[in-house]
Amino acid sequence: MAGKATASGKPGPMALWPRPMRIAIASDHAAIDLKAELRDWLIEEGHEVADLGPPTTDSVDYPDFGYKLAGVIADGTAERGIALCGSGIGISIAVNRHPAVRCARVSEPLSAALAREHNDANCIAMGARLTGGDMAKACVTAFLGTEFAGGRHQRRVDKLSNPSC
């Protein structure tokens, strides 16, 4: 692993990650606080983070922000995405409308790691009303720290973007 532990014994910047990544994060109004917590933490960890909004708790429609996140993942502006709403369900559906994006709604680190390892997920979604900050960070850590296994999983992932495979 890159990075070193700090004097307190806690991992320092980049200790949890194989390399810095370009990460986009978006939410609806229900997940503003969790989005800010994750954004700030990821920046402290050395990642480049694009906050796609919204900027306030004024009511917004989660599909608008899910589509925006999917666009920057699909065009390569960001390598990974984090989508947040109250439950994580609505925004994950919106993100998954783009054929180049594979967004897994996760609630604990194992599902986040398996989403990467088996499904080559390039985005995760979580519910701010269901997932606290520490658990969300654990999910993000597992998601960013896990590589796609390829092999037998590749043909299945190929079918996700092209059902005629």
In a domain, 7, yes or no: no
Q: Residue 7 above 50 pLDDT?
A: no
> Please, what is the average pLDDT of the chain?
88
Cα 67 off chain centre by: 14
**Cα–Cα distance for residue pair 101/29, rounded to 1 Å:** 23
Judged by average pLDDT, the poorest of 14-23, 52-61, 102-111, 147-156 is: 14-23
**78: burial class by Cβ within 10 Å (0-12, 13-18, 19+)?**
buried
In a domain, 8, yes or no: no
| 134: containing domain | 22-159
DSSP annotation of 30 = G
- Give the pLDDT confidence score for residue 17 in this predicted structure: 64
Its pTM stands at 0.88
In a domain, 99, yes or no: yes
Of the segments 8-22, 61-75, 150-164, which one has the largest average pLDDT value? 61-75
Cis peptide before 13 (omega within 30 of 0): no
Write out the catalytic residue numbers. 85, 118
Q: Which CATH number characterizes residue 111's domain?
A: 3.40.1400.10
- pLDDT (mean) for 104-118: 96
Strand boundaries in the chain, DSSP class E: 22-27, 48-51, 80-85, 103-105, 123-127
In a domain, 41, yes or no: yes
Residue 11: pLDDT band (50, 70, 90) is very low
**Cα–Cα distance for residue pair 27/83, rounded to 1 Å:** 6
Q: Residue 155 above 90 pLDDT?
A: no
In a domain, 164, yes or no: no
| Amino acid code (one letter) for 110 | L
Judged by average pLDDT, the poorest of 39-48, 78-87, 111-120, 147-156 is: 147-156
In a domain, 78, yes or no: yes
In a domain, 62, yes or no: yes
pLDDT in tens, 34-90: 999 999 999 999 999 999 999 999 999 999 999 999 999 999 999 999 999 999 999
Give the strands of the sheet with 22-27, arranged side by side. 48-51, 22-27, 80-85, 123-127, 103-105
**Cα–Cα distance for residue pair 98/72, rounded to 1 Å:** 11
**Cα–Cα distance for residue pair 37/157, rounded to 1 Å:** 31
Total number of domains in the chain = 1
- pLDDT (mean) for 18-31: 94
In a domain, 139, yes or no: yes
